[in-house]
Structure 1
Amino acid sequence: MKKVLFVATVVKTHIMVFHIPYLKWFKENGYETYVCARNDYENKDDCVIPYCDYYYDLPFERSPIRLNNFKTYKQLKEIIDSNGFDIIHCHTPMGGVLTRLAARNARKKNTTVIYTAHGFHFYKGAPILNWLVYYPVERWLSRLTDILVTINKEDYKRAQKFKAKSIEYVPGVGIDTKKINEIKVNIVKKRNEIGIPKDSTIVLSVGELNKNKNHETVIRAIAKLNNPDIYYVICGEGQLAIYLRNLAKELGISKQVKFLGFRTDIAEIIKISNVFAFPSFREGLSLSLMEAMTLGLPVICSNIRGNSDLVEHGKGGYLVKPDDIQGFTNAILNLYENSTKRKNMGIYNRSVLKNFDLQNVLEEMGNIYSKSYSRGNTKN
Structure 2
Amino acid sequence: MKVLYVTTISATMGFFPEHVKMLLSEGHSVEIATNCEKPVPEIYNTLGCKVHDIPFSRSPFSKNNLIAYKMLKQLVESEHYDIVHTHTPNASMIVRLACRRVRKQGTRVIYTAHGFHFFRGAPLKNWFIYYPIEKFCAHFTDVLITINKEDFTLAQNKMPAKKICYVPGVGIDLSKIQNIQCDRNVVRLSMGVPEDCILLLSVGELSVRKNHQVVMRALAKLDNPKIHYAVAGSGKLENDLRYLAKSLRIESNFHLLGFRTDVIALNKSADISVLPSLHEGLPVALMEAMAVGLPIVCSKIRGNVDLIEHGKGGFLYGCQDVDGFARGIMDVVLKSSSEMRKINQNTIKNFDVKKICGMMKQIYKDCCNGAT
Specify if TM > 0.5: yes
User: Are residue 177 (structure 1) and residue 174 (structure 2) matched?
Assistant: yes
| Structure 2 equivalent of residue 242 of structure 1 | 239
- CA drift of 1:47 comes to 5.2
Counterpart residue type for residue 369 of structure 2: S
2:183 to 176, 186, 194: 186
Pairing partner for 1:211 from 192, 203, 208: 208
- Once the two structures are superposed, residues 7-59 of structure 1 have per-residue CA deviations (whole angstroms, 9 ceiling, x without a partner) of 111222x211x111111111112222111122364xx5975535352112333
Distance verdict in 2 for CA 1:52–1:159, change over 3 Å: farther
Q: CA deviation at 1:228?
A: 2.1
What is the root-mean-square deviation in Å for CA atoms of aligned residues? Answer: 1.7
Identify the match of residue 275 of structure 2 among 278, 281, 291.
Answer: 278
* 1:149-174, Cα deviation, whole Å (9 max, x unpaired): 01111111111131111111112111
**Alignment partner of 1:337 is 2:334:** yes
- Give the letter for the 2:36 counterpart: N
Contact 2:57/2:91, CA 8 A, preserved across alignment: no
Against the structure 1 CA distance between its residues 57 and 252, is the aligned structure 2 distance closer, same or farther, given a 3 Å change threshold?
farther
C-alpha deviation, 1:245, in angstroms:
2.1
Shift of 1:204: 0.7
Alignment of 1:1-380 (within 5 A): 2-12=1-11, 14-16=12-14, 18-39=15-36, 41=38, 44=39, 49=44, 50-160=46-156, 161-338=158-335, 340=336, 342-375=337-370
Q: How far is the alpha carbon of 1:185 from its aligned partner?
A: 0.5
Contact between 1:11 and 1:47, CA under 8 Å: does it hold in 2? no
Give SS of 1:175's match.
coil
Cα–Cα, structure 1 residues 246 and 39, in superposed 2: closer, same or farther, change >3 Å? farther
* CA distance in structure 2 between the partners assigned to 1:46 and 1:369 by the alignment: 23
Secondary structure of the 1:121 match is coil
* DSSP-derived class of the 2:91 partner: helix
Distance 1:106 1:245 in 2: 52
Residue type of the alignment partner of 2:217:
R
Could you tell me the TM-score, scaled by structure 1's length? 0.93
Contact kept in structure 2, 1:204 and 1:276, CA below 8 Å: yes
SS in 2 for 1:314: coil
The alignment-based identity, stated in percent, is 43
Whether the aligned pair in 1 keeps the contact of 2:13 and 2:40 (CA below 8 Å) is no
Higher deviation after alignment, 346-355 or 222-231: 222-231
- Bigger shift: 313-322 or 125-134? 125-134
Structure 2: 5+ residue runs without aligned partners? none
Contact 1:73 1:102 in 2 (8 A): yes
The Cα offsets for residues 260-312 of structure 1, whole Å up to 9 and x where unpaired, read as 22221111100000001111111111111111111101101111111111101
Q: What is the TM-score with the length of structure 2 in the denominator?
A: 0.95
Cα deviations by residue, 1:163-196 (Å, 9 ceiling, x for unpaired): 1111111121111112111110011111111111
1:255 aligned counterpart, secondary structure: helix
Against the structure 1 CA distance between its residues 47 and 153, is the aligned structure 2 distance closer, same or farther, given a 3 Å change threshold?
A: same
TM superposition shift of 1:65 = 0.9
Moved more, 184-193 or 59-68: 59-68
SS of 2:369 mapped into structure 1: helix
8 A contact 2:13–2:41 mirrored in 1 = no
Counterpart code for 2:207:
N
- Range moving further from structure 2, 251-260 or 179-188: 251-260
SS for the counterpart of 2:208 is coil
Structure 1 residue runs of 5 or longer lacking an equivalent are none
